[in-house]
């Protein structure tokens, strides 16, 4: 190939490159999507964990939803009240009061207190035990299986299996809700950080059945209901539950519970 041919080819390629560059530049300007400058500020104010606990695909998804008015300024459970106030200032609205919450495993039937019907050898995943007899080896069909599915789901290393049951470190918990979603027994609940007394049982079996399966299971006797001065406890389906909007933390329920199911 002659020098002239090479120069012509180089010039043609250069011209095409310039044309494409100009075309893309003009197209970028013409079809640019307007971005609210507040979105970057909100994103910067978020923790950046991208845990999805807010229900959106990461912090960027939540930031976009907040700016569009599709999510509240206090929509990040990990950041809590401090982050909500910062975002509220950016958006020009009040974040309101936000009570910190933590996850709690509503079962205290560990290896020493709960019965076992058989020995299980297999995949250590609580979700897999729905395919084995009685939903697992533990005598209580409502109890924590202790194979750590919630542990694997927690992005903050705030939950661990101790003596056969999952236990939450309330100081490390960010209330993202990942463990709540992961538990196949629906045993984990987000409760107020300030809650001093919680019914650590989810069994709805009749008293004699529960007593046979676990030493610390709620038998629905109603003694806590009768003794609660704030009328904050109710029993439904042989299971006690506490209304935290009424509970004063007096501790009478825990003191009177004959099975020590309230902790």
User: Where do the domains of the chain lie?
Assistant: 37-91, 100-193, 195-263
Taking alpha carbons only, the member of 144, 142, 137 closest to residue 159 is: 144
**pTM for the complete prediction?**
0.77
Q: Which pLDDT tens digit goes with each residue over 31-46?
A: 555 667 889 999 999 9
β-bridge partners, 103:
190
Identify the CATH number of the domain defined by range 195-263: 3.30.70.20
> 100-193: which CATH architecture?
2-Layer Sandwich (3.30)
Confidence check: pLDDT of 24 > 80: no
Average per-residue pLDDT in the chain?
Answer: 89
CATH class of the 37-91 domain in this structure: mainly alpha
- Give per-residue pLDDT as tens, 112-157: 999 999 999 888 899 998 788 888 999 999 999 999 999 999 999 9
In the predicted structure, residue 10 carries a pLDDT above the cut 90: no
Say yes or no: do domains 37-91 and 195-263 share a fold. no
| pLDDT digits 0-9 by tens, 176-205 | 999 999 999 999 999 999 998 999 999 999
């Amino acid at each position: 190939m002659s020098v002239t041919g090479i120069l012509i080819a180089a010039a043609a390629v250069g011209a095409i490159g310039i044309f494409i560059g100009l075309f893309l530049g003009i197209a970028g300007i013409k079809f640019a999507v307007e971005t609210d400058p507040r979105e970057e500020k909100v994103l910067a104010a978020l923790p950046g964990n991208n845990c999805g606990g807010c229900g959106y695909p990461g912090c960027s998804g939540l930031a976009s939803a907040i700016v569009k008015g599709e999510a509240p300024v206090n929509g990040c459970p990990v950041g809590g009240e401090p982050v909500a106030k910062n975002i509220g200032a950016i958006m020009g609205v009040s974040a309101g009061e936000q009570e910190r919450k933590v996850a709690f495993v509503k079962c205290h039937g560990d290896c020493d207190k709960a019965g076992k019907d058989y020995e299980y050898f297999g995949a250590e995943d609580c979700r897999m035990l729905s395919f084995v007899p009685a939903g697992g080896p533990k005598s209580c069909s409502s109890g924590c299986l202790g194979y750590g599915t919630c542990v694997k789901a927690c992005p903050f290393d705030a939950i661990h299996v101790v003596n056969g049951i999952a236990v939450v470190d309330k100081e490390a918990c960010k209330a993202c809700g990942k463990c709540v979603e992961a538990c196949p027994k629906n045993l984990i609940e987000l409760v107020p950080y300030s809650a001093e007394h919680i019914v650590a049982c989810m069994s709805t079996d009749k008293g004699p059945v529960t007593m046979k399966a676990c030493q610390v299971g709620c038998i629905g006797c109603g003694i806590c209901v009768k003794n609660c001065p704030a009328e904050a406890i109710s029993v439904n389906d042989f299971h006690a539950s506490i209304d935290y909007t009424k509970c004063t933390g007096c501790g009478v329920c825990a003191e009177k519970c004959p099975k020590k199911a309230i902790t």
